Amino acid sequence: MTSPLAIHPALSPGQVAVITGGASGIGLAAARRLKAVGMQVFIADLPGPRLEAVRREFPGALDADVAKFADVQQLAAAAAELGDVTVLMNNAGTDRGARSSWEDLAQWRALVDINLWGVINGVHAFAPAMISRGERAVIINTGSKQGITLPPGNPAYNLSKAGVKAYTETLAHELRSVAAGAVTAHLLIPGFTYTEMSHATEKPASAWMPEQVVEFMFAALAKDAFYILCPDNDVTRDTDEKRILWAARDIIDNRPALSRWHAEYAAEFAQYMSS
């Protein structure tokens, strides 16, 4: 069976891949998979023990705060010294945000600066050179299902990931009209994944491992899929589709915002999901 990595020209041996948030979780799993196929992998993350540990595998790993454009520009310059970047994975993120829509303004800014501006900074630093070459390349932005269905509890995170979704959709549309569509954008939407952000000391039975997400992602890239909607051990594709459709119908049917979690709609939602 042909490896999915082998049939997408951007994921070729000798080419350069850049991954932010690459010192752990999905980013590290992607870095290892790309290195195994022969790509030159350049990872960036915040300074600390995790980054120091992965420098044994990736000696050129760079300290970078994606919220700072100057740091991302430095990352782009360093990666360019290795060769042409054909894979950019804007993956750095945090869920440490405000839990109220009208409190903790500093936490709001800090989270949005990383999760949303980190993606925008990455595209601005890398995309012009990728486009100018006119060769196949991919930009992968890590989103979240919470940016689509907006569950209560972490509004800053939800907003940031909704912004990543909207930004990546627009980016993908714009890229189709330049460089003969050689550069494509893709939205990674992981399911429940066992990483530091899962805040679990042991892997929950319902969670996927980061390596599973990466294999699913590369198989989707091989098909040029834009929305890379990952299941997990608990939530199937069918369940995701139903939840997303319910959220969309809040607008169409003029239901209360986030009616899925509205007490008056609890029975209707449960019946809808079981039908």
pLDDT, one tens digit per residue, over 5-19 is 546 899 999 999 999
**pLDDT band at 200, cuts 50/70/90?**
confident
Task: Count other Cβ atoms within 10 Å, centred on residue 120.
Answer: 18
The fold adopted by the segment(s) 4-234 is Rossmann fold (3.40.50)
215, pLDDT greater than 80? yes
Q: What is the pLDDT of residue 1?
A: 35
Amino acid residing at 121: N
For residue range 38-80, what is the model confidence (pLDDT) as tens digits? 999 999 999 999 999 999 999 989 999 999 999 999 999 999 9
Helices (H), the chain: 25-36, 49-54, 69-80, 105-115, 117-133, 146-149, 155-175, 210-222, 237-252, 266-274
Instruction: Check: CB of residue 194 under 8 Å from CB of residue 208.
Output: yes
Task: Calculate mean pLDDT across residues 115-137.
Answer: 98
For residue range 218-268, what is the model confidence (pLDDT) as tens digits? 999 999 999 999 999 999 999 999 999 999 999 999 999 999 999 999 999
- Domain ranges, ordered by start, for the chain: 4-234, 236-275
Q: What is the pLDDT of residue 2?
A: 41
Q: Which residues are catalytic?
A: 157
Q: Which pair of structure tokens corresponds to residue 265?
A: 């709609």
From 201, 187, 198, 261, select the one nearest 232 (Cα to Cα): 198
3-state secondary structure of 17: strand
User: What are the angstrom distances between the C-alpha of 8 and each of 2, 51, 96, 135, 218?
Assistant: 11, 29, 35, 12, 9
Q: Which pair of structure tokens corresponds to residue 97?
A: 């945000």
Q: Rounded distance, CA 118 to CA 156, Å?
A: 15
Q: Rounded distance, CA 168 to CA 226, Å?
A: 9
Task: Calculate mean pLDDT across residues 163-178.
Answer: 98
Residue 128 pairs in a beta bridge with none
C-alpha torsion sign, points 137, 36, 79, 171: positive
